[in-house]
């Protein structure tokens, strides 16, 4: 290994790694966490993890600083995970940790924002010394609580609340704690299986990390950690210093439930950081789409990352110059015990709010407004009588809407942007329930018209294959306030939920779909960018030929002549 010799004090490595070695090791860390994430996804019981990648995985140094995160995963999980290891160290100081220990929690304010995400932290030991941590989290389908997911009024109604606890003690699984988890979920096999999946993926990550250290002759990660963090911070600061300086304001109106929710942001760029302050946003609501600050931080940081920082990896260094503030008690800094189960309904909209600020600074690099919220199909049934107990199921498949257009490119259709969650295959959904998806296709004319068209939402029709009702849990935005276009582009189409009985349902409620009836889910589209009549004529004809736009839209909005 290249490097220069240093005195052996007995407290560190006898060589200082060279720059090339450090870069190679950094890349190896990225491979370690990606394998860690893939292990979690492939062994998970939860369909939203296994099929859609709703998880996070990362490696941290012995101080709890995040060094690398897996590409596989979602911003709400990954960027909030960056803080989680610090909370574990506060609860269990490193000098008390032993090889074989594993810690678990699902505290919304110390994890990913709601109880359905379980976080696992594993101290990693090499030659008997703690050298770092592996951390991961993923979505658990059922963590107990009330079945009607729209009705919770505080966090204690939403399921089993696990503070930071030791789930494995020096290699010995805490069977009492496992029994508590098993007893507090409607899906004990799946939930406990997911806990073991998370524990296992960290164990694999630790193996790969120590393999790398052995290969490069390291006995600690300090020099590598400092290189990663310092290099990343400087790369982010270089990008920030190239931007105009000042403060820009943005607003966003969301559907809410009884009344619209108004969000405000002030984005300030200085030489040393970017601050997004959400003062002026709506206060906490009695409904369960309040957002803990950790989740607000996660999606704000992600929006800044994709618009400004490009391919600079996420770690403690690259995240440090991104500062997020919100007044305590506002909907984006909800305080315990606020209900937070549906925090994604607000949190996933924050990139659009940040983009509304950035569009005034770097208009050529941000999208028109997006669907943002995930249009997942979340159902349960049958659950009404003891005779049905062996046929009951609770299942979720992720379906998606349209991305807003960029100033130089059409928005992507049927995408989870900005969540990172992939759409799930309906075949798995059908196999694990009695439901049938009768229709699933792109929704024509749902993408906002423009020189560059917004991405399309979907048209999905489903019903029960047996003569029984089933429960549908809706948690959607963009029904009353569709995604706005930019630079003269048109708004995307609003979403809708329609029963075959003719009844239209709201975006945030739980209801029963009657026996024999079907429900159609129409997810919303992204906003367009630029004047629709400036769109390339061949592109308009292609959209028409492919059924993405109707003949009426081609003629009346795009001005396509017959």
Burial 534-546 (b: 16+ CB within 10 A, else e): ebeeeebeebbee
Say whether pLDDT at 3 is over 50: no
Contact yes or no for 28/212 (Cβ under 8 A): yes
Quickly count: other Cβ atoms within 10 Å of residue 289's Cβ. 27
The values of phi and psi at residue 61, to 5°, are -85, -175
pLDDT at position 147 is 86
Please, is 173 exposed, middle or buried when counting C-beta atoms within 10 Å of its C-beta (0-12, 13-18, 19+)? Answer: middle
pLDDT at position 11 is 40
Q: Is the dihedral of CA 177, 178, 180, 184 positive or negative?
A: positive
DSSP state of 313: P
pLDDT at position 54 is 92
pLDDT at position 384 is 57
User: Checking DSSP bridges between strand 165-169 and strand 172-173, what pairing results, if any?
Assistant: antiparallel
Which residue in the block uniquely carries the two structure tokens 């309904």?
345
pLDDT at position 79 is 87
Q: Return the HEC string of 424-480.
A: CCHHHHHHCCCEEEEEEEECCCCCCCCCECCCCCEEEEEEECCCCCEEEECCCCCCC
User: Checking DSSP bridges between strand 322-325 and strand 377-381, what pairing results, if any?
Assistant: unpaired
The pLDDT > 90 percentage for the chain reads 85
Rg, C-alpha atoms of the chain = 24
> How far from chain centre, in Å, is Cα 414?
16
pLDDT at position 436 is 96
Say whether pLDDT at 14 is over 50: no
Q: What is the pLDDT of residues 34-46, one digit of tens each?
A: 999 999 999 999 9
**Confidence bin at 73 (pLDDT 50/70/90):** confident
Distances 161 to 101, 106, 185, 196, 337 between C-alpha atoms, Å: 21, 6, 12, 18, 11
**Confidence bin at 388 (pLDDT 50/70/90):** low
Alpha carbons 246 and 227: distance in angstroms, whole number: 31
Q: What is the pLDDT of residues 191-206, one digit of tens each?
A: 999 999 999 999 999 9
Q: What is the pLDDT of residues 52-62, one digit of tens each?
A: 999 999 999 99
Under the phi-then-psi rule, with left for phi > 0, alpha for psi from -120 to 50, and beta for the rest, what region is 478?
A: left
Q: Where are the alpha helices (DSSP H) in 400-495?
A: 426-431
Could you tell me the pTM of the whole model?
A: 0.94
Residues in the chain: 562
Which residue in the block uniquely carries the two structure tokens 């975006």?
507
pLDDT at position 393 is 81
Q: What is the pLDDT of residues 115-155, one digit of tens each?
A: 999 999 999 999 999 999 999 999 999 999 998 888 999 99
The torsion of the CA quartet 40, 41, 43, 47, rounded to 10 degrees, works out to 130
Closest by Cα among 255, 448, 443 to 367: 448
The values of phi and psi at residue 38, to 5°, are -65, -35
> How far from chain centre, in Å, is Cα 558?
35
Q: Which residues on adjacent β-strands are paired with residue 394?
A: 380
Alpha carbons 432 and 189: distance in angstroms, whole number: 14
Q: Give CA angle at 221 (220, 224), nearest 5°.
A: 140
Would you list the domain boundaries of the chain?
A: 3-233, 367-562
Contact yes or no for 423/55 (Cβ under 8 A): no
């Amino acid at each position: 290994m290249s490097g220069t010799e240093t005195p052996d004090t007995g407290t560190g490595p006898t060589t200082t790694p060279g720059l090339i070695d450090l870069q190679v090791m950094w890349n190896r860390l990225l491979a370690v966490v990606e394998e860690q994430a893939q292990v979690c996804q492939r062994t998970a019981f939860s369909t939203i993890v296994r099929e859609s990648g709703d998880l996070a995985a990362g490696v941290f140094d012995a101080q709890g600083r995040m060094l690398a995160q897996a590409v596989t995963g979602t911003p709400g999980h990954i960027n909030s995970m960056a803080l989680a290891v610090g909370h574990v160290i506060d609860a269990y100081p490193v000098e008390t940790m032993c090889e074989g220990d594993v810690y678990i929690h699902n505290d919304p304010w110390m994890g990913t924002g709601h109880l359905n995400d379980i976080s696992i932290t594993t101290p990693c030991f090499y030659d008997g010394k703690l050298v770092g941590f592996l951390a991961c989290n993923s979505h658990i389908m059922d963590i107990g609580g009330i079945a009607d997911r729209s009705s919770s009024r505080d966090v204690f109604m939403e399921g089993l609340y696990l503070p930071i606890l030791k789930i494995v003690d020096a290699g010995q699984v805490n069977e009492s704690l496992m029994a508590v988890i098993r007893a507090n979920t409607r899906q004990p096999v799946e939930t406990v299986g997911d806990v073991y999946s998370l524990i296992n993926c960290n164990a694999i990550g630790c193996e790969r990390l120590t393999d790398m250290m052995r290969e490069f002759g390291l006995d600690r990660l300090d020099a590598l950690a400092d290189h990663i963090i310092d290099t990343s911070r400087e790369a982010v600061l270089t990008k920030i210093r190239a931007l105009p300086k000042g403060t820009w304001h943005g607003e966003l109106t969301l559907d809410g439930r009884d009344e619209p929710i108004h969000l405000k942001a002030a984005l300030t760029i200085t030489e040393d950081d970017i601050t997004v302050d959400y003062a002026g946003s709506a206060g906490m609501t009695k409904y369960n789409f309040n957002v803990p600050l950790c989740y607000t931080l996660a999606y704000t940081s992600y929006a800044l990352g994709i618009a400004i920082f490009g391919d600079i990896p996420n770690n403690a260094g690259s995240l440090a110059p991104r500062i997020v503030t919100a007044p305590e008690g506002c909907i984006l800094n909800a305080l315990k015990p606020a209900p937070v189960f549906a925090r994604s309904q607000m949190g996933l909209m924050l990139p659009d709010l940040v983009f509304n600020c950035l569009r005034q600074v770097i208009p050529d690099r941000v999208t028109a407004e997006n669907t943002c919220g995930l249009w997942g199909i979340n159902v349960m049934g049958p659950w009404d009588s003891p005779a049905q107990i062996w046929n009951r199921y609770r299942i979720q498949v992720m379906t998606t809407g349209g991305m807003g257009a960029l100033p130089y490119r059409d928005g992507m259709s049927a995408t989870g942007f900005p969540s990172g969650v992939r759409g799930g295959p309906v075949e798995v959904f059908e196999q694990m329930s009695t439901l049938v998806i009768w229709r699933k296709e792109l929704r024509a004319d749902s993408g906002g018209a423009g020189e560059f068209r917004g991405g399309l939402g979907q048209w999905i029709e489903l019903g029960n294959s047996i003569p029984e009702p089933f429960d549908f849990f809706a948690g959607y935005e963009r029904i009353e306030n569709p995604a706005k276009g930019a630079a003269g582009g048109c708004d995307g189409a609003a979403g809708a939920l329609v029963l075959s009985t003719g009844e239209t349902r709201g975006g945030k409620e739980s209801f029963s779909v009657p026996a024999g009836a079907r429900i159609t889910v129409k997810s919303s589209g992204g906003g367009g960018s630029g004047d629709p009549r400036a769109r390339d004529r061949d592109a308009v004809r292609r959209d028409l030929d492919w059924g993405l736009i109707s003949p009426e839209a081609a003629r009346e909005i795009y001005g396509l002549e017959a």
